[in-house]
Amino acid sequence: MTNPHVLRRALLGAGAGLLAMPAVLRAQPAAVKIGVLQPLTGALAQDGDLGRFGAEQAAAFINAQGGLSALGGAKVELVVADARSNPEAGAQEVEKLQGEGVVAIVGGFASPICLAASQAAARYDLPYVVDVGVADQITSRGLANTFRFAPGFGAVTTAAVDNLIRLNDGAGKPCKTVVLVHEDGLFGTGLARLMATELPKHGFEVLETIPHPTPARDMNNIALRLRSLRPDLLIPSSYYGEFVLLARTMRQQRIRPKGIYAVLNGAASNYRFVKEFPDAALGVMDCNHWQDPKNAEAIALKAAADTAGKFWGYNIPLNYSCVKLVADAVNRAGAADRAKVIQALAASDYSGHIMPYGPTRFVNGQNQGARPVNTQVQDGDIKVIFPAEVANAQPVFPIQG
């Protein structure tokens, strides 16, 4: 038989609990969903994995700090989508993320994926923050929903030429002759063309421009050509596999120019290259995306990546910063409302990121403060050598005195 007192107490308890429920619900507001679009399978899977890792670390950081303050501490929930390394799949995944009700999308990595996915997102006025994609078209189309936090192709190449001239002048102009080796796609060809017109204006002589296809399985002919041309400086613009092959072939054939100066290179700012082929990587310079090496949060993030067994790449700090930028915009908007988030991003002066950019300021979707840095492989590590206020090492240039 049931004791009536116990029953009464239980009912009272349950009633009190029910009354308290709304308070509990208020204390845990609905999570805000942010879409993370990365090429997780296919040719770009390595980059996509790093991008996702960075985004996840940012969400964990925000949630550990108490979530989104303006939304009563709402947690950030990431919805990860796989762009399968092609733009069509990227655009299709945007539809899925739209179905999931995300407040914004971060990522894309490759320019074609970013172009197609941001346009698909524009149909729904869904904010899209590009993590890496450098093609200038991305922000020149006038899509109100698209923002790029990192620098575009034009900004990177201009900085690359300026920094090279300063570097060379600073060392007493040791390099006069240059050979350009480039992949025959968008980056390589565009960059080689730009270098071939800009460098002669500053006293450099471009001896030859050597294109190669991607993928290329043999670099012996290019190495032999370099041996006969004997340039002071080599400017390569290739993807990971091809540049590693070229650097190794040059090492084997003992071809040592005074400097290797890469721009947006797939390997020169990649720890896998540095760890697996330390001899070939030594002294290689790159002008690329990189985190502020003195930022405490960036140092902690790198330690977390090391613990997780990831080779560090710029995808991690960029996606980390982009997710934090979106979270900040949601906070500024005061609601998980897409139109308000777009307004908040457009007016954002966010400085809580870990890139050496200063406060964010978007003009036509492009972050004006964004800039690349110069890195160099020194003592089995990747150091920032330029600009001076960010640098954590002095350039070793020329490599052979």
The residue (of 44 and 354) whose beta carbon lies closer to another protein is 44
Closest CA to 242 of 323, 180, 183: 183
Helix (H, G, I), strand (E, B) or coil at 206: strand
Q: Is 107 in the site for another protein (CB under 8 A)?
A: no
User: Of 46, 86, 177, 295, which one interacts with another protein (CB under 8 A)?
Assistant: 86
Cα–Cα dist 153/165, whole Å: 18
Q: Which of residues 20-49 bind another protein (CB under 8 A)?
A: 40-42, 45
Q: Which of residues 165-184 bind another protein (CB under 8 A)?
A: 184
Q: Is 338 in the site for another protein (CB under 8 A)?
A: no
User: Which tokens sit at 62?
Assistant: 């925000």
> Interface with another protein by CB under 8 A: which range of 81-89, 244-252, 285-293, 354-362?
81-89
Report DSSP letters for 24-67, one per residue: HHHHSPPPEEEEEEE--SSTTHHHHHHHHHHHHHHHHHHHHTTS
- Is the CB of residue 133 less than 8 Å from the CB of residue 48? no
Report DSSP letters for 86-145, one per residue: SHHHHHHHHHHHHHHT-SEEEE--SHHHHHHHHHHHHTTT--EEESS---THHHHT--TT
**Cβ at position 136, least distance to another protein in Å:** 9
Helix (H, G, I), strand (E, B) or coil at 384: strand
> Interface with another protein by CB under 8 A: which range of 29-37, 69-77, 119-127, 298-306?
119-127
User: Of 51, 107, 108, 112, which one interacts with another protein (CB under 8 A)?
Assistant: 112
User: Of 16, 20, 30, 88, which one interacts with another protein (CB under 8 A)?
Assistant: 88
Residue 186 buriedness (CB in 10 A; 0-12 / 13-18 / 19+): middle
User: Which tokens sit at 312?
Assistant: 């560090």
For the chain, helix (H) and strand (E) counts, in that order, are 14, 14
- Is the CB of residue 265 less than 8 Å from the CB of residue 243? yes
The residue (of 99 and 172) whose beta carbon lies closer to another protein is 99
Cβ partners under 8 Å of residue 103, min gap 6: 32, 33, 34, 127, 326, 330, 336, 337, 338, 341
**Cβ at position 237, least distance to another protein in Å:** 12
The residue (of 145 and 367) whose beta carbon lies closer to another protein is 145
Q: Is 192 in the site for another protein (CB under 8 A)?
A: no
Count of C-beta atoms within a 10 Å radius of residue 298: 21
User: Of 82, 131, 198, 242, which one interacts with another protein (CB under 8 A)?
Assistant: 82
Q: Which of residues 267-326 bind another protein (CB under 8 A)?
A: none
User: Which tokens sit at 196?
Assistant: 């071939």
Q: Is 125 in the site for another protein (CB under 8 A)?
A: no
Q: 372 phi and psi, to 5 degrees?
A: -85, 170
**Cβ at position 109, least distance to another protein in Å:** 15
Q: Is 122 in the site for another protein (CB under 8 A)?
A: yes
**Cβ at position 52, least distance to another protein in Å:** 12
**Cβ at position 308, least distance to another protein in Å:** 18
The residue (of 87 and 356) whose beta carbon lies closer to another protein is 87
The residue (of 116 and 298) whose beta carbon lies closer to another protein is 116
**Cβ at position 80, least distance to another protein in Å:** 8
> Interface with another protein by CB under 8 A: which range of 62-70, 95-103, 255-263, 392-400?
95-103
The residue (of 63 and 92) whose beta carbon lies closer to another protein is 92
The residue (of 59 and 138) whose beta carbon lies closer to another protein is 138
Q: Which residues bind another protein (CB under 8 A)?
A: 40-42, 45, 82, 84, 86-88, 91-92, 95-96, 98-99, 111-112, 115-116, 119, 122-123, 135, 137, 141, 143, 184-187, 189
